[in-house]
Amino acid sequence: MLHLSKEHAERRGNLSPEHARGFDRFRKRLLRFQVEGLLRPSQVAIVVEHLLRLGERERNPANTGNIEDLFCHTLMDTSDAVRAYAQALADSVKVIPMAPQASLWPPLKHLSSQRTYYTVGELTGLSEPDQMLVAHTMVAYGDEEMWQSALEFVHATHSTLSSTAVEQEVSRMAVQSQHLPSSSFVLARAHGITIECSELWHRAGYDNKETDAAQAFYDICAQFETRWANTFINGLIPTDSNWVAWRAEYLRARSRLPSELIYQLSSDTLTNFLEGTLESGKWTDASVAFHGVRCPELLPSAIARIVNQYIAEHVGLHDRPAYEIAMACARTLEPWGVVFENGKATVSSHVPPKASQLKEQFNAAQARLRRSYPVSEGNQ
């Protein structure tokens, strides 16, 4: 597996330049894990096939580096390849617009109407970008090809498990991957919408008490007030009495979750500004699509603002110290023009070493946005 097969080499050659760069970078790290004994050749082969399929299925190349960081961080931190692959799969379908017929697993449910949503197209109350933010982890595990890939990975890891036990393990992967509550930006867009836990959690082997506790947690998440997101976007934590009461209830419910899911909620934040994520352009993509950035020179400022939002969330939502973010990503952010002063992210006074890459990422992000929402020249 150290060398690409002829078939894989040909398929890699057919990828877009952006997908090919992300593929090469991720594969290089996979091979290093194989040499170090953290991955088997069969596991590497499954992840490589998944990466090729992301390009062939025209998934967002600006997200490849983020799934790389999620996979690699989790593997190094836990030595558990299945948990690492669960993280990678969960963030593999961040495309706008999503296919209306894409299945949601687990399904979503509206707290007030009790209506259950089984496909992306049923989320008519959300814009197409917001559908992606809220539902991408459910779409990932509702995707038959990705579910099959997860089955193959579990079997390659635990070859003595029965087919029933393998299915249960993949269901556990889906359980631990629902990280909607890791971001205030997403929580605000999912206001009133909860995850329907019952069937998936039971398939994963959790008992009624554990399933009820998970449902209670996601129901509390659905009560996050949209106005609080504006405070987090400004790098601050809400202070009003409603927030204090909601946060206390949220943290109590969170403490009853499976440890793997609690880990995912925090690690999703810590991995958001590592090297692969920045190299692939995830935050450039987000800055263009969601924050209206219209020139590459403004990207360091936009990224710094996002970092400060995540610092506030790390404290407010994850009950973790702020310094962990700076420790995790100060080195990787500096080449992109973002530095830390007094615990906050700010723009460097120097021209970023990665300025040319920021421009390339900006142009690619704008091109993707135009493909998603084509407009005539007169309406631009």
pLDDT tens over the chain, length 380 residues: 567 889 999 999 999 999 999 999 999 999 999 999 999 999 999 999 999 999 999 998 988 999 999 999 999 999 999 999 999 999 999 998 999 999 999 999 999 999 999 999 999 999 999 999 999 999 999 999 999 999 999 999 999 999 999 999 999 999 999 988 889 999 999 999 999 999 999 999 999 999 999 999 999 999 999 999 999 999 999 999 999 999 999 999 999 999 999 988 888 888 899 999 999 999 999 999 888 899 999 999 999 999 999 999 999 999 999 999 999 999 999 999 999 999 999 999 999 999 999 999 999 999 888 887 664 333 33
Among 227, 175, 228, 231, which residue's Cα sits nearest to residue 201? 175
The 10 Å CB-count burial string (b at 16+, else e) for 204-240 is bebeeebbebbbbbbebbbebeeebbebbbebebbee
Residues in the chain: 380
pLDDT at 269: 83
Structural domain boundaries in the chain: 6-379
Contacts of 212 (CB under 8 A, 6+ apart): none
- Structural contact between residues 222 and 178, judged by C-beta atoms closer than 8 angstroms: no
Looking at residue 371, its pLDDT comes to 80
Q: What is the pLDDT of residue 4?
A: 84
| Enclosing H/E stretch for 13 | helix 6-13
What integer pLDDT is reported at residue 1 of this predicted model? Answer: 53
The string over 248-283, giving b where at least 16 C-beta atoms fall within 10 Å of a residue's C-beta and e elsewhere, is: eebeebbeebbebbebbbbbbbbbbbbbbbbbbbbb
Nearest alpha-carbon partner for 239 in 312, 301, 152, 333: 312
Q: Which residues pair with 116 in a beta bridge?
A: 109
Closest CA to 141 of 190, 183, 200: 200
pLDDT recorded at residue 379: 31
pLDDT the model gives residue 375: 47
**274 Cβ contact list (under 8 Å, min separation 6):** 69, 73, 328, 329, 332
Residue 374 has a pLDDT of 62
Please give the Cα distance from 78 to 84 (Å, whole number).
8
Q: Are the CB atoms for 91 and 133 separated by under 8 Å?
A: no
Query: d(Cα 285, Cα 62) in Å, to the nearest integer?
Result: 7
